[in-house]
Amino acid sequence: MGKPHILAVAYPAQGHVIPMMELVLCLSKHGFKITFVNTESIHKRVMSAFSVGDYAGEMINFVAIPDGMEPWEDRGDLGRLTETMLQVMPGKLEELIEEKRGIDDDEITCIIADENAGWALGVAEKMGIKRAAFWPAAAAMLGLLFRIQELIQNKILDTDGSILKCHKFTLSPGMPIMSTEIFAAFSGTNAGKILFDSVVYNNKVVKGADWIICNTSAELEPEALSLFPEISPIGPLMASSRSGESAGHLWPVDATCISWLDQQPACSVIYAAFGSFTLFDIDQLQELAQGLEMTDRPFLWVVRPDMTNEKIKTYLEEFEAKIQNRGRIVSWAPQDKVLSHPSVGCFLSHCGWNSTMEGVSNGIPFLCWPYFTDQYLNQNYICDVWKIGLGLSKGETGLITREEISSKVEQLLRDKSFRKRALLYKEKAVNSIQKGGGSDKNMSNFVKWISSGTEMCKP
């Protein structure tokens, strides 16, 4: 048998692909062979977004398997996507593993799967391959999913995931307040039931994994990790920590925005980016645009290609002409480089965990605009536990108004205590992944376990 060969299976979404990519790039430095599995549609997008000479393309073997959907079907329909993935992908993954069996340096010795792709852990168990579950979000969120049966018993959720009563609760003192709003995506639809059933299944297979690793640190989530000691923090996983560039983008990055940032004063720029799923209608988008303009500060705003229609495109063209060089709108940004740039003063964010970790690791205060699921929990960490940001409130019309945006930007940037605490949490995050830090020790033990092929090497 040659050197260990890791098969990494990512869930097909931007906030899952990038941290999994960071994880395996860290592991590749230890001499492991890496095969990275995406769905065919995600694979095409990742490959097309790579820049020439990209480090990840040299270190990782990227392969694709079908997700069961037809090319023209909407992969934003997560219920349908989940259903077809479960029908098709386990068999295709087995075929891929069988092709490599008995071949030195090619046989799969370990599978690392996104917790949301629990079916891959089931394949690993069936085929006698050691397995690790990777959770790319907050440990508190995974712990909450582990407690779903208790929520059902307490009549907070129905057995199909529907919310029976609006409720706020906490799993432990010191942890953020949680709301049943987190489960809104599961409630009241057939697609929601499919997603909820998938979560219940994933809980079962993940608890049988040899390791459960998480993109967080004990310094950021001490109470959650104390309550759920089976979760091993190995993060934050950052391109900057391995002196590389972020990889796994689903859209080509517009790196020209960095030269624009170079021209702005220190801590002056509002960076507005809302991840890969958030959508705005024209009314909300106009409020956001006018709010950014009202601040009278420079801003960098990411508007994905799939966020726009002809009406929005026309409005943005007129808006850009109006603001001229005071603001910059790009279709996708090299976020790790943006957030580490000295001109950035705050991060107007949807609070996805990957974005949260990048902001925290660079000492950036947040304005929080969560869109769905765990993003509400992450906002509570940012605003209530770490106290490094402010939330935005909707007005009477249901929109977040331009006045609210402008007012909160001023409050955040004028009150220097937000930046001071953000720098404190940056230090905590960075220390955890440096030599001898808690996440570094867990990663070292994880590497030993992959290499050993026998007993776990947990601390």
253-278 tens-digit pLDDT: 898 999 999 999 999 999 999 988 78
458 inside domain: no
Can the peptide bond before residue 236 be classed as cis, meaning omega within 30 degrees of 0?
yes
Enter the DSSP assignment of 176.
P
Q: What is the pTM of this model?
A: 0.94
Pair 392, 442 in one domain? no
58: pLDDT strictly greater than 80: no
pLDDT tier at 455 (50, 70, 90 boundaries)? very low
75 CB-side CA count, 13 A = 19
Do 117 and 10 contact (CB within 8 A), yes or no?
yes
Q: How confident is the model at residue 456 (pLDDT cuts 50, 70, 90)?
A: very low
- For residue 77, is it within any domain? yes
| Same domain membership, residue 278 and residue 220 | no
- As a whole number, mean pLDDT of residues 118-143 equals 95
Q: How confident is the model at residue 283 (pLDDT cuts 50, 70, 90)?
A: very high
Is the pLDDT assigned to residue 458 strictly greater than 60? no
| Separation of alpha carbons 427 and 432, rounded Å | 9
Classify burial at 334, counting beta carbons within 10 Å of its beta carbon; exposed 0-12, middle 13-18, buried 19 or more: buried
Is there a single domain that holds both residue 68 and residue 217? yes
Q: Which are the contacts of 417, defined by CB distance < 8 A and separation ≥ 6?
A: none
Reply yes or no on whether the pLDDT at 61 is more than 50: yes
Q: Which residue has the higher pLDDT, 17 or 248?
A: 17
- Residue 243: what pLDDT? 58
Q: What is the DSSP letter of 266?
A: T
pLDDT average, residue stretch 62-89: 91
**C-alpha–C-alpha distance, residues 421 and 387, integer Å:** 7
| Residue 110 · residue 129 · CB < 8 Å | yes
Residue 213's SS3 state is strand
**Domain membership flag for residue 425:** no
Q: Check whether residue 83 and residue 142 sit in a common domain.
A: yes
111 shares its domain with 214 = yes
Structure tokens at 98: 């069988």
For residue 421, tell me if it sits in a domain.
no
* Interval 304-310 mean pLDDT: 84
Structural domain includes residue 402: yes
Q: Are residues 328 and 230 in the same domain?
A: no
- What's the structural domain count of the chain? 2
pLDDT in the model for residue 91:
96
pLDDT in tens, 201-244: 999 999 899 999 999 999 999 999 999 999 999 999 986 666 56
Q: Are residues 99 and 163 in the same domain?
A: yes
In a domain, 99, yes or no: yes
Query: What is the per-residue pLDDT for 270?
Result: 98
| Three-class DSSP category at 219 | coil
Q: How far apart are alpha carbons 448 and 457 in whole angstroms?
A: 7
Decide which of 207 and 418 is more confident.
418
Same structural domain, 163 and 280: no
For residue 5, the SS3 value is strand
Percentage of the chain modeled with pLDDT above 90: 73
Q: Has residue 9 been placed in a domain?
A: yes
- 397 phi-psi bin (left φ>0, alpha ψ -120 to 50, beta other): alpha
Q: Output the CA–CA distances (angstroms, integers) from residue 12 to 121, 169, 342, 354, 457, in the order listed.
A: 16, 30, 32, 15, 30
Q: Where is average pLDDT lowest: 152-156, 226-230, 337-341, 414-418?
A: 152-156
Distances (CA, A) of 113 to 36, 119, 201, 338, 414: 10, 9, 14, 29, 43
What confidence category does residue 59 fall into, taking pLDDT thresholds of 50, 70 and 90?
Answer: confident
Are residues 62 and 161 both part of a single domain? yes
- The yes-or-no verdict on residue 54 having pLDDT over 70 is no
Is residue 127 in a domain? yes
- Nearest CA-CA partner of 147 in 186, 107, 199: 199
CB-CB contact of 10 with 456 (8 Å): no
Determine the 3-state secondary structure of 272 from DSSP: strand
Q: Per-residue pLDDT for 134 more than 70?
A: yes
CA pair distance 145, 152, nearest whole angstrom: 11
Residues 201 and 90 in one domain: yes
Assess whether 86 and 185 both reside in one domain. yes
Count, residues in the chain: 459
Domain with 22, as residue range(s), is 5-244+432-452
Contact 291, 284 (CB under 8 A): no
Q: What is the mean pLDDT of residues 345-364?
A: 97
207 shares a domain with 80: yes
pLDDT above 80 for 245: no
> What's the CATH number where 273 sits?
3.40.50.2000
Q: What is the crossing angle of helices 190-207 and 139-146, to 10°? A: 100
248 has a pLDDT exceeding 90 = no
Whole-number Å distance between alpha carbons of 15 and 353:
8
317 by Cβ neighbours in 10 Å (0-12 / 13-18 / 19+) ranks as exposed
